[in-house]
Amino acid sequence: MEPIAFSYSDIHKTVAELAERIQASGFAPEAIVAIGSGGYIPARIMKTYLLVPIYTVGISLYLEDKTTLPSPRKIQWLDEVEKKLTGKRILLIDEVDDSRTTLEYCIRELLRHQPAKLGVAVLHNKQKEKKGVIPGEVAAYWAGRELPNAWIKYPWDAVEIDVHELNARNQEQPTAL
């Protein structure tokens, strides 16, 4: 399947729509936790709409040479800050729900700090068989777009941003699932 490219503008609009759905649900997060690095930019855009602070965690499932680790590894975690999450309504943000391995790992780690409520928002959910699960303690899950199981090209990975943005605009729009 052909890769699907999204422009910065596409992503901003997807986050705006997600923010609307989150607000309409009555969830009212008090803080955002961004899963780095893919979740950083979506989380920052979300802050424009939800006006709450962002905390970040760095997790990787792959090494530099692209070999997969047996389980996700913390590159950076919340330490002192995590105490501030206890008793709060938290919105966890990542760019893509792919295998769900990283997502499940982060959710379980955050749940240990007993947030009042934990919601999860991703820009894109790939419709495929998942290795991880969204634990039942998660109050709500939102995906900005449902996509087929193709490789997604994000603007922040582009070395030539003008070429990326042009490709994103000129490609056939991915069919909504």
The widest CA-to-CA distance across the chain, in whole angstroms, is 46
Answer for which of 29, 38, 115, 144 binds Mg ion (CB under 5 A) is: 38
92 binds ligand G4P (CB under 6 A): no
- Helices (H), ranges, the chain: 8-25, 40-50, 101-111, 161-170
Half-sphere exposure (Cβ direction) of 131: Cα atoms closer than 13 Å:
10
Residue 138 interacts with, from Mg ion, ligand G4P, none (CB under 5-8 Å by kind): none
Residues 15/123, Cβ–Cβ less than 8 Å? yes
Answer for which of 11, 97, 138, 168 binds ligand G4P (CB under 6 A) is: 97
10 binds ligand G4P (CB under 6 A): no
User: What's the one-letter identity of residue 68?
Assistant: T
99 binds ligand G4P (CB under 6 A): yes
Q: Is 94 a catalytic residue?
A: no
Residues within the interface to ligand G4P (CB under 6 A): 36-38, 59-62, 94-103, 132, 151-152, 154, 157
